[in-house]
Structure 1
């Protein structure tokens, strides 16, 4: 009787794509699985990539940039004032320790910070504060060149009042004192070649009713001197009052948002701040004009806050200053833009507005505290009259800038710039030159060109006021 052939494993597996699995392999896999259940893999600890501190009068921002999203809890401790922050999923590293040295002695709100490993995977930060603050702690998703960010914004309990800040800096007379009699009426110009106010213009500016008298007074509890009261009463009785003009200058970007960059490493936020400061000095050489900067240092101001600051000081004009960039380094020239509610005047204007409106994303805004309703109201209330005034202002300034630099386009352009949406203030955005063009970058870094540019903008503003004297008008509140 023939024997039954023995069936071996190699016969069964012959011809299969996968190689045979031995008993030993199966046992090893089972053991590995069992070990993974008994001893779970240690949680991944996020890594802090950079720390940055942005002190300013408005608020101080502390930024922790990391390679993963972090979860943080915080609480306030009294007597003395401290803010304690616990960050989960984090191990202390040298980068985070460097935060201690980044706190400056002149920081308005932070005295010092202490950093330590509170417990495994939890780092604790203790901010010793100079005064009581209202903190905002939030995270930002990756944007631009940034990874994940954990943000601490420390706002004073009593917010900085823009008018009070101007008074403290001497930008706004704290006693409401009028310019010397005849200073504006005679059209006497300060040093330089700025066009003086004509007599007819000065008279128009002087014929202001009671509303202008109130607008002149600073928002302060201090009582004016007796002689000043008499001076104001006399001006009111005669029906004439020298109309102070308030111009708000808005240096674009700042802080976490550097703006565009030049080939040689220059940053838009630095250049436009320097130009704005020069422009401020030149405007204030005139006795009937004062200036507020939306930022006077390297820190970020949200787009809506810039508009809000201008409205709080009842600005007569809003001028946002930028330095353009394009993918092609050959792009060049200066431009002036105003708001449009009906779409951009060109695809380039739309592209630029979209890019500038990303400032809040790059700079970092706490979306939970954004007043979306206010943003909607500002858009809805932007009137045809405001846009028409802005077009007149833009045309006047563009004409003067054209005398010192090539114009990218010979007319004022329009697009939906978020920073131009104050409903009651003529507002323009000036792209001074292309920082991405090496030749124009060199111009923007040159003191002489910055002076010429500031002079041209002042001439344009004065020319606009000469044709459109700002008489009394109802302010939206």
Structure 2
């Protein structure tokens, strides 16, 4: 009787040796290798991802948890795969996505249904009419082994590399989290000693932990303690760190007879979406005056055509993230009746950094204040924001616009 494992191995080998479909391109822009086709074969005992390449390339593969993923880093590739590539899974794989991660670097992210082990990860050279082929073999594992596994596996003698080591921290896209207020600027206050500057700082620290847990992004806080940072200073931190995204966190008060409450996501606009948004922006924009800063000599932002082009692109990415953030927050937190708004917030004015202001809730609402001081609520809400960040970057990678 032939063992099922042997049958699976034979099927995987057959898939690897099968004739390749006609390649659509010899090489991409600037001579980059081209990925022309991709397929999944195998079952829950062993799953193989095969990607046809126009030229060989070194790769590094590693695993990430929560959610379970396998990541393959490789030099910049021109992906000319079928439109449906990666949308459907097979065996241990639920889906995969791909795109340019940064200049000179590409990434393939494989979503897996359970903990897995990277059994093999290598690239075969082109030979006898067959294209070069990237091969990833996955087998079942358990969570403990998945989390502890750090060993590298050498691939084919061609020099391909498979490694569980994550990319260098300095190469990761940067997310700037801006806990509003601080120091001499206390922000809003609420019942039972609720303090805006303390609530948003605790939220920002927890959110930083969650975003960095996946090993795919680096987080920079605009303040690490109870200190004051000016509004231009917060924007400068984002730009100096070449941030791919900025999230400014607040928890304000509004004197509203109808008891306004719930989380709200704000984007930048020259004209406020409503009177409520305009009042809030005006209040937040006075933070530097509260701290006693002289703004009369504040330099103007760079002007001109390039500035406007950058602003338009940034605005589109901002809107994309803001909508996704509202979607994720809806699952974990009470939202405002109008959760997506816009106004002229000065802290969102970096022309080249997609930026949103997240109002966690309103300290003028007893219900919101109680929630925002709750550890359980903070855990749920930060998880929702972290997932929105993950989905945003996954979409940008798939679009070939991963940020910095």
TM-score of the superposition, structure 2-length normalised? Answer: 0.58
> What secondary structure, in the 3-state scheme, does the structure 1 residue paired with 2:189 have?
coil
Query: Which of 268, 272, 279 lines up with 1:339 in the alignment?
Result: 268
- Match in the other structure for 2:61: 182
Q: Which of the pair is proportionally richer in strand?
A: 2
Over 3 Å counting, the alpha-carbon distance change for 1:471 and 1:376 in structure 2 is same
Note if 1:460 corresponds to 2:391: no
Q: Is residue 203 of structure 2 the alignment partner of residue 203 of structure 1? A: no
Q: Distance in 1 between matches of 2:69 and 2:390?
A: 8
- CA shift for structure 1 position 466: 1.6
Give CA deviations for 1:336-374 in whole Å, capped at 9, x if unaligned: 011113x11111111111111111111232436x53223
1:37-48 equivalences under 5 Å are none
Match of 1:251 in 2: 179
Match of 2:327 among 358, 375, 399: 399
Residues 201-251 of structure 1: per-residue CA shift (max 9 Å, x gap): 763144x43499xxxxxxxxxxxxxxxxxxxxx99xxxxx89622100000
CA, structure 1 residues 197+248, in 2 after alignment: closer, same or farther (shift >3 Å)? farther
Deviation at 1:460, TM superposition (A): 0.8
Q: Distance in 2 between matches of 1:443 and 1:381?
A: 41
Instruction: Check whether the contact 2:310–2:351 (CA below 8 A) recurs between aligned residues.
Output: yes
Cα distance in structure 1, aligned partners of 2:402 and 2:394: 17
Separation (CA, whole Å) in 2 of partners of 1:299 and 1:452: 27
Q: For structure 2, which runs of at least 5 residues remain unmatched after alignment?
A: 1-58, 73-85, 87-95, 107-159, 162-166
Q: What CA deviation, in whole Å up to 9, does each residue of 1:383-414 have, x standing for no partner?
A: 22211110110111111111122211345211
Counterpart residue number, 1:373: 300
Q: Which residue in the other structure is 1:292 paired with?
A: 220
SS of corresponding position for 1:412: strand
Please tell me the root mean square deviation across aligned C-alpha atoms, in Å: 3.2
Which aligned pairs between 1:39-188 and structure 2 lie closer than 5 A?
181-183=60-62, 188=64
Distance 1:379 1:324 in 2: 31
2-side partners of 1:409 and 1:425: how far apart?
28
Indicate which of 245, 258, 261 corresponds to 1:317. 245
Structure-2 residue corresponding to 1:144: none
Provide the C-alpha distance between the structure 1 equivalents of 2:262 and 2:295, rounded to a whole number of angstroms. 35
Flag the 1:280–1:198 CA change in 2: closer, same or farther, 3 A.
Answer: same
Give distance in 2, aligned partners of 1:284 and 1:386. Answer: 23
2:61 and 2:71 in contact (8 A); partners too = no
Q: Which has the larger radius of gyration?
A: 1
How many Å separate the matches in 2 of 1:371 and 1:425?
Answer: 20
**Paired residue total:** 263
After superposing the two structures, state which structure 1 stretch, 382-391 or 283-292, moved more.
382-391
Kindly tell me: are residues 394 and 197 of structure 1, through their superposed partners in 2, closer, same or farther at Cα, counting changes over 3 Å? farther
Compare relative contact order (CA 8 Å, sep 6+) and give the higher one, 1 or 2: 2
Secondary structure in 1 aligned to 2:175?
strand
**1:260 aligns to 2:220 (yes or no):** no
